[in-house]
Every structure is written in structure tokens, then in C-alpha cells.
């Protein structure tokens, strides 16, 4: 799930990026940006960040992880290293939670991924990937924290179009970013098409589910089926309105690996809580490894932690 935005064009740099600047910006565009514990990451090698002269930053905001193979020189076991897989979200390969600052209620980023990256020519910046959120604020972040301090000027115009058809231009001039919306849709309108409610159901399996979350789902007429007990497997149906965006400007159903699940028309938001642990010494070996690996809880329940997305 999520919302796609297409971009056409690139922003132009006034000079060629230095190799270390290009490498850092590429890496910055690849990783998941989460609030990290500053003290715990101090001892972790971070060669690209060191090459561009940046500190780890508040809550590790400039930390971009280790390059492949660096763990051999760090003296740390391979399984204990923050590497590409870990920061890209594959937390099953690394105990990433040990380095997260779970006491933070928000992060100093527009979203968890920055998808502006240098082009192969080293003289342009373009959007990469899909479902890019906060792209205007990310441009301002790159200018303020990296490009301007490093002595670069970024200019030009990039066209954007969302999957619902809204489109316009993003303009950068004199270090200022401006978004100009030109129309609400470029897509052809079919006769009789309107924004009336149209409900589809998204089915997903999760691990254990709290009593409060189960009650909230049932009250919102969301099907809940217990498929297996040990390990627990629960099938949940999430009825969502596919035309919700046309009326409200954002999707009804949002699902993020690290941030949880939001069903806006029902006023529900869920997060991962503590992992399911049956009464055995090998509890973690039996933990369900579905989409949501831990207990699904309501956002206000104990055990949840926020990654910066506002609660509904």
C-alpha cells in the first residue's frame, strides 16, 4: 500500500560532486532513517560520514551505517554490525532495536526514506524509487544540511504527478524550493466516475494481537480469524475505501514495516509491541515471522513506540 508519485527531470548542480559527497548522498538515499541512540552508535565505524566531515548528528541523523566488509576491521561480530541489510529494514539480520532511541516521539526527518540521489553524471539530483513521501521537505533538508554547507548550488525544475493525477512543478532557485500545483488531475475521467465510497478488503497475516486491538478491529467490522496458536497466526481483514484519497488528499489504508498500520476511515492506528513469548526457554525461536513479527497493538497501548508518524 502507499501512494506513488512520478517525477520527470533533474535538478542541476553548479559543479561536479566530489566523490565522497556523491557516495554519501547515495548512501543517505538508500537507508531507512530512524532515531538512533547517539551514545550506542559512537563506536560504530561510519567511513562515508567521516569522509565528508559530519558528526553522527542529533539522534544519529547523519549516521549512514557501515559499508560491506567494514565489520572485519571493527572487531565486532558480523551479526552485531549495522550494515546495509539492517538499515534498509531487514532487522531480522541484526538486532537494530538495540541502537534505536525508542524514547523518541518523533524524528527530525520528513519521512523514513529520502529518495533524492545524485545521477551518474555527478552534476544532477533526481528522484529514485516509488512512494516518495515528504519530497519537498527532503529537498530543503539536503540543501540546508549538505549541499549549501558543502558549497554547491542546486537549481532547476522537476515535474511531478501523483497516482490520482494531481501534478505540477518543483522549482529550486536561489536555494529556495517552491512547489507549484497546476491541476488536480491529468488522468482521463470515465463517464459516471465519481468519488463515492468504494470498499475493498486488504487481507494480511500478523503475529499475536492484543485484546484491545482485537476489540477495536471487531467493533470497526474488520474480520479477525485465529489460524494457529503456537506460534500465533492471525488473519486480519482491513476494509478500506479506494476513493478516500479523492476526498481527503491521503490514502485510507497505510501500511509501513517500521511505523505500523493506519486505517483512517475507521480512526484506527496500530503498532508493533513486544514479541510473542510463550513460556519456554526457546521462546524467540517460535516467534511468528509474518509481516508484523510482534504483537499488534493499538497506538495508545503500552509497548508501542513511535517512529515519527502522527497518531490519528
Least confident of 23-32, 125-134, 177-186: 177-186
pTM: 0.58
b/e code 233-271 from CB counts within 10 Å (16+ = b): bbebebbbbebbbbeeeebbbbbbebbbbbbbebebbbb
Closest CA to 145 of 154, 133, 158: 154
Tens of pLDDT, residues 201-226: 988 887 778 899 999 999 999 999 98
Tens of pLDDT, residues 61-76: 898 875 544 444 445 5
Amino acid at each position: 500500500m502507499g501512494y506513488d508519485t512520478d517525477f520527470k527531470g533533474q535538478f542541476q548542480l553548479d559543479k561536479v560532486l566530489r566523490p565522497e559527497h556523491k557516495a554519501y548522498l547515495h548512501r543517505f538515499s538508500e537507508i531507512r532513517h530512524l532515531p538512533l541512540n547517539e551514545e550506542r552508535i559512537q563506536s560504530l565505524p561510519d567511513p562515508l560520514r567521516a569522509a565528508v566531515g559530519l558528526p553522527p548528528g542529533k539522534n544519529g541523523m547523519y549516521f549512514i551505517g557501515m559499508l560491506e566488509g567494514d565489520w572485519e576491521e571493527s572487531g565486532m561480530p558480523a551479526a552485531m554490525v549495522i550494515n546495509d541489510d539492517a538499515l534498509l529494514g531487514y532487522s531480522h539480520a541484526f538486532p537494530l532495536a538495540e541502537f534505536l532511541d525508542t524514547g523518541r516521539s518523533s524524528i527530525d526527518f520528513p519521512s523514513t526514506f529520502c529518495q533524492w540521489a545524485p545521477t551518474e553524471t555527478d552534476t544532477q539530483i533526481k528522484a529514485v524509487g516509488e512512494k516518495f513521501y515528504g519530497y519537498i521537505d527532503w529537498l530543503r533538508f539536503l540543501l540546508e544540511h549538505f549541499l549549501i554547507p558543502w558549497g554547491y548550488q542546486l537549481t532547476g525544475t522537476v515535474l511531478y504527478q501523483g497516482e490520482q493525477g494531481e501534478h505540477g512543478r518543483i522549482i529550486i532557485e536561489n536555494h529556495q524550493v517552491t512547489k507549484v500545483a497546476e491541476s488536480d488531475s491529468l488522468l482521463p475521467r470515465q463517464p459516471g466516475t465519481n468519488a463515492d465510497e468504494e470498499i475493498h478488503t486488504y487481507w494480511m497475516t500478523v503475529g499475536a494481537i492484543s485484546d484491545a486491538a482485537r476489540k477495536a478491529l471487531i467493533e470497526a467490522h474488520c474480520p479477525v480469524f485465529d489460524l494457529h496458536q503456537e506460534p500465533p497466526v492471525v488473519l486480519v481483514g482491513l476494509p478500506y475505501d479506494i476513493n478516500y484519497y479523492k476526498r481527503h488528499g491521503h490514502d485510507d489504508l497505510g501500511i509501513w514495516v517500521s511505523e505500523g498500520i493506519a486505517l483512517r476511515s475507521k480512526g484506527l492506528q496500530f503498532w508493533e509491541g513486544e514479541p510473542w513469548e510463550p513460556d519456554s526457554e526457546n521462546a524467540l525461536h517460535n516467534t511468528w515471522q509474518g509481516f508484523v513479527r510482534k504483537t499488534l497493538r493499538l497506538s495508545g497501548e503500552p509497548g508501542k513506540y513511535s517512529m515519527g508518524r502522527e497518531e490519528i
